[in-house]
Amino acid sequence: MMQSIEHIVWDKITHAHGNASDLPYKLHALRSPLKHEREEALSWCYEALWHHGVVFEASAASIPLLLEMLQDPGVEDKEELLLLLAHLATGETCPNAYEIPQHRRMNLVLPGSEEAPPLETAWLQRTHEEARKGIDLYTRCLHAPQAALRVNAAFLLACFPLEGKRIQQALLRRLDIEEDPCVLASILMSFGVLELEDHLIEPLLEGYLDSAFPALVRLAAAVSLTRQNPQHPSRNALRILMHALTISEVSDLYATLPWAEFDTAGDISRLLCRLGRGVPEFVIPRLLDLLPIVDPYSAVHMTYTLLDLSGLESPAEASRLDTTQREILQALVETKHLWTLSHEIAATLDLFGLPDNRGALLAFLQAPAHLQIAS
């Protein structure tokens, strides 16, 4: 049993399922030499300490023990511990290149705030602060011999944007000597999430768009560039994103990264929503070309992106559709496999005030021009 466990009165704190007196045994099981025991313990920790994205009093208390394990040469699966720490540090979803910045999602109570935070926010803040204490350790993991540790260390470091300058220097030092494509990609994605106001970062990312680099690395650089400047996106970066949608080898590698929420098609589609009216003219036609050939779930993500980029207002009116909006809706009607996910596509169409089934959407498009038909 780890020595530091003895200093915590576990039955006085709680996790997702109540009294945390069972937590020390679960944490100790993460040290097991048996892989199935470690996997079971890790699954339990997610369930109890990061339950549907919510952290608890015991979540913060567990972090010093997780940091202790990271420093123990006898502990295996340390890359999984880094991922668990990333989830605990953010308190909601892991940092990624497609959602709003992690430090805004968390609603941290920053120094100088006069208002006392609610209990859940206090737990969130304390858990984040406990995880932040391990930054030097995570930085050392950037230089571990195992590529998986380096990948996940870069991912975890992106959880601490308020330490951005310090983390930036650590990432840049690793970038200078890194050769593994997955690690390079993870570091470049971290720059996009940290949102550093540094005039050197953009040209650095632009340099990684060069065809001399592996496709996954170019994709990561393109993602970060697009995220950093969605109002004036790099056309070169956007072309790389569009190209990546069709490369299966890139999709397979991308799926191994902790940054992956869905597949490349789904995640890139979500990222493109950040462009707003700044979308270049080639993006929507390219997405329309891909719509019939991607899997149904990715097609649903593309549907939202296409409708969002088209500027369609809710509730939609048939008489006010412009040429691009009408072309998009016609493509949706004609994409048969999209409608196999009836609930998902209905929910997406409903957000834009459109008819939520294929027949009704077709009738909407065929309505006489003088009629204004809302869903």
pLDDT of residue 233: 86
Whether the pLDDT of residue 372 is over 50: the answer is no
- State how far the alpha carbon of 121 is from the alpha carbons of 107, 116, 203, 247, 302, in Å: 8, 9, 38, 42, 34
Total domain count, the chain: 1
pLDDT > 90 fraction of the chain, expressed in percent and rounded: 59
Beta-bridge partners for 282:
none
CA distance 130 to 55: 13
Range of the domain at 295: 281-375
Confidence of residue 308 (pLDDT cuts 50, 70, 90): very high
In a domain, 248, yes or no: no
pLDDT mean over 156-182: 94
Confidence of residue 316 (pLDDT cuts 50, 70, 90): confident
Q: What is the largest CA-CA distance in the chain?
A: 77
Output the CA angle 356-360-362, nearest 5 degrees.
115
CA distance 184 to 151: 8
pLDDT mean over 254-260: 93
pLDDT of residue 156: 96
pLDDT mean over 163-175: 94
Whether the pLDDT of residue 173 is over 90: the answer is yes
pLDDT tens for each residue of 73-90:
999 999 999 999 999 998
pLDDT of residue 115: 53
In a domain, 160, yes or no: no
CA distance 243 to 237: 10
Contact between 55 and 88 (Cβ < 8 Å): yes
Confidence of residue 52 (pLDDT cuts 50, 70, 90): confident
Tell me the average pLDDT of the chain.
Answer: 86
Least confident span in 68-77, 274-283, 353-362: 274-283
Instruction: Give residues with Cβ within 8 angstroms of 345, minimum separation 6.
Output: 300, 303, 332, 338, 339, 356
CA nearest to 246, candidates 261, 222, 263: 263
Least confident span in 136-140, 288-292, 329-333: 288-292
CA distance 5 to 68: 11
Q: Comparing 92 with 67, which gets the higher pLDDT?
A: 67
pLDDT of residue 118: 63
pLDDT of residue 95: 44
Per-residue H/E/C for the chain: CCHHHHHCCHHHCEECCEEHHHHHHHHHHCCCCCHHHHHHHHHHHHHHHEECCEECHHHHHHHHHHHHHHCCCCCCCHHHHHHHHHHHHHCCCCCCCCCCCHHHHCCCCCCCCCCCCCHHHHHHHHHHHHHHCCHHHHHHHCCCCCHHHHHHHHHHHCCCHHHHHHHHHHHHHHHHHCCCHHHHHHHHHHHHHHCCCCCCHHHHHHHCCCCCCCHHHHHHHHHHHHHHCCCCCCHHHHHHHHHHCCCHHHHHHHCCCCCCCCCHHHHHHHHHHHHHHHCCCCHHHHHHHHCCCCCHHHHHHHHHHHHHHCCCCCCCCHHHCCHHHHHHHHHHHHCHHHHHCHHHHHHHHHHCCCCCCHHHHHHHHHCCCCCCCCC
In a domain, 258, yes or no: no
Beta-bridge partners for 14:
19
In a domain, 252, yes or no: no
pLDDT tens for each residue of 95-140:
443 343 343 333 444 445 455 456 677 888 899 999 999 999 999 9
Whether the pLDDT of residue 149 is over 90: the answer is yes
pLDDT of residue 144: 97
Least confident span in 304-308, 357-361, 369-373: 369-373
CA nearest to 84, candidates 123, 53, 46, 140: 46
In a domain, 44, yes or no: no
Q: Comparing 197 with 87, which gets the higher pLDDT?
A: 87
In a domain, 373, yes or no: yes
pLDDT of residue 159: 93
pLDDT of residue 362: 95
In a domain, 345, yes or no: yes
In a domain, 363, yes or no: yes
Least confident span in 82-86, 270-274, 311-315, 366-370: 366-370
CA distance 280 to 258: 29
